A and B are shown apart, each in its own frame.
Chain A
Amino acid sequence: SQTIHQWPATLVQPVGSPLSLECTVEGTSNPNLYWYRQAAGRGLQLLFYSVGIGQISSEVPQNLSASRPQDRQFILSSKKLLLSDSGFYLCAGGRDNSPLHFGNGTRLTVT
């Protein structure tokens, strides 16, 4: 079965510092991959999605970027974090009409 690995689970970073969150997928090949952010008490906001290596679609203009260097690896990055980047970041993966599997998330606090 498919498993989404995300790390770290929690992260505290100062404003202006860089960010790199990694997500890897196990148990399937060529998945569609997604990065979501969830502010406290709010719904999930789609940030990026990828249908293949090197293919990234951005949904929300911001200071974040995503990359997919390998089929099962999806990375969320920032060169300089803002306070507003704080939130709960979720990576998800799936194929076509199959259930989407989520990682356990990374709680990012920018101070």
Chain B
Amino acid sequence: KNQVEQSPQSLIILEGKNCTLQCNYTVSPFSNLRWYKQDTGRGPVSLTIMTFSENTKSNGRYTATLDADTKQSSLHITASQLSDSASYICVVSEYDKLIFGTGTRLQVFP
């Protein structure tokens, strides 16, 4: 069964610190991998989207990496801000079907 697993399940960091979130997937065939940020009670918002040929993509303080050989991706957040507190969801595309990970809940404390 195609799956997307994320770690850690939750994370607490201090404002200004960096953090890295992990995503492992078994989806095949693979079209693209996306990272989303979801604030509580809101719809997810796209951060990055990468095809299998892309290794890294940045969006401001967010940098996503992809290793299609090992089927791993990471999302690195630099100089965290209080507004980064949210759930971060890894989504892998199998053609037109999107398979969501269960997310990492990030809390940034002052």
Chain A residues engaging chain B, CB cutoff 8 angstroms: 4, 32, 34, 36, 42-46, 49, 51, 57, 59, 88, 90, 92, 97-105, 107
Contacts and interface: CB of A to CB of B under 8 A. Distances in A.
Given A57-B97, A97-B31, A43 B43 contact: no
Given A43-B100, A97-B49, 9 more contacts: A34-B98, A43-B103, A46-B98, A46-B100, A49-B97, A100-B44, A100-B98, A102-B43, A103-B43
A102 B44 contact: yes
**Chain B residues touching A, range:** 20 to 34
Contacts of A46: 97-100
Contacts of B100: 36, 43-46
B46 A101 contact: yes
B41 A88 contact: yes
Contacts of A104: 42-43
B34 to A, nearest CB: 7
Contacts, number: 56
Contacts of B64: none
Contacts of B34: 99-100
9 contacts: A43-B102, A45-B100, A59-B97, A90-B43, A90-B44, A92-B98, A97-B31, A97-B49, A105-B42
By DSSP majority rule, is chain A's interface helix, strand, loop, or mixed?
strand
B63 interface: no
B97 A99 contact: no
Contact of A98 (B41, B49, B98, B99): B49
